[in-house]
Amino acid sequence: MYLSGLWYFGALGEQLKPGQHLNIELLGQPILLARGFDGEVFALRDICPHRGILLSTGRLLEKDGQTQVECPYHGWRFGSDGKCAGIPSLTKQQSLTRDLSKIKTKNFHVCEQQGLIWIYQGDEKPTDKPIWVDLVGAATPKLSTTTVFNCHVDHAVIGLMDPAHIAYIHRQWWWRTEKSMHEKSKNFGPVERGFTMLPHTPSSNSFLYRLLGAKPETEIRFQLPGVRVEYIKIAEKYVVGFTAITPVNEDKSQITIALYWDHPVMSLLPNALLRKGLDIFVGQDRDAVNAQQKGLAYNPKLMLIHDSDVQAKWYFSLKKAWELSQKSGTAFQNPVKPKTLEWRS
């Protein structure tokens, strides 16, 4: 089961030029994501109501000033609202006596902001906007990477937020070494549909943080359904790391990392080098959860310990509280209370 009544990250805006479309799988359903010739993004259930072929195997065309999706099988056309706009095999007389707009493939609410395309999942109309990335204004990401983990979204989420794995899975000279492990104490508090590691000066055990110079200040927010944003402020400048963990289906999760910055040191580093670093990093997480699957296949009992797994516990209680609010139609009560967590990493 998936959480509903939420915006899920779908794709990066830069993946679609006007007139282009792609097929994605989100929450176990096929979605055609497209950018119309007018530049507007739309999303349809990627299944032709006629005989079920993926609409995304067809093409986008412009008709009467509107963007339409043409099914490759029998040429039925659908508007960006999902309503049928034409059936070529009908005679003129047949066309006149049929209300084609009753034939429909579901269309989803979409929102594009800050270079991110969000798709709403829920039966009701969305009552709010997707997560807004602070500090960056209307900027779009300068760098991004996408990876698929072969695991349920819960393992991807708790694997990425877990502080205790860093010294093991991500052990490398430019980030952490075993010797750099030390005791940490971080203050957390609730934020909208999530929690945050409150602004603090990060540990000096990372070479990358040292590179950024003068006392960076970091805040890391996690929000449902699975968005983690790391804000690094260095004097007046910023580096922001956005991570979306989106369920593709029950056994697959897509991880998208997008970086925003206006810090000059980041612009000095070649993009290819930054991307390589990111890919190594996410690759280490991916290899870990993929290896974990071999154990999970035997359905073992698992443990979450204090304090290093408390964020994972919060994630599960946030999910529960969200489900409850959706089911009962009552306001969501954030179960997270301000707390200091301590661990070694």
Determine how many CB atoms are found less than 10 A away from the CB of residue 305: 11
From the CB of 223, what's the least distance to Fe ion, in Å? 18
Per CB under 6 A, residues contacting ligand FES are 48, 50-51, 53, 71, 73-74, 76
Q: Which is nearer to ligand FES, 101 or 177 (by Cβ)?
A: 101
Instruction: Supply the angle between the helices 153-161 and 271-296 in degrees, to the nearest 10.
Output: 120
Per CB under 5 A, residues contacting Fe ion are 285
Q: Pick from ligand FES, Fe ion, none: which does 224 bind, CB < 5 to 8 A by kind?
A: none
23-29 CB contacts, 8 Å cutoff, 24+ apart: 23/54, 23/56, 25/248, 25/249, 25/252, 26/119, 26/121, 26/246, 26/247, 26/248, 27/2, 27/121, 27/247, 27/249, 28/2, 28/247, 28/248, 28/249, 28/250
From the CB of 63, what's the least distance to ligand FES, in Å? 15
3: three-class secondary structure by DSSP: coil
Q: Pick from ligand FES, Fe ion, none: which does 50 bind, CB < 5 to 8 A by kind?
A: ligand FES
Q: Which is nearer to Fe ion, 46 or 285 (by Cβ)?
A: 285
From the CB of 259, what's the least distance to Fe ion, in Å? 16
From the CB of 185, what's the least distance to Fe ion, in Å? 20
Q: Pick from ligand FES, Fe ion, none: which does 120 bind, CB < 5 to 8 A by kind?
A: none
Size (the chain), residues: 345
From the CB of 49, what's the least distance to ligand FES, in Å? 8
Q: Which is nearer to ligand FES, 100 or 135 (by Cβ)?
A: 100
Q: Which is nearer to Fe ion, 285 or 307 (by Cβ)?
A: 285
Measured between alpha carbons, how far is 134 from 219 in angstroms, rounded to an integer? 11
Which residues does residue 78 pair with via DSSP β-bridges, in sequence order? 69, 84
Q: Which is nearer to Fe ion, 119 or 227 (by Cβ)?
A: 227
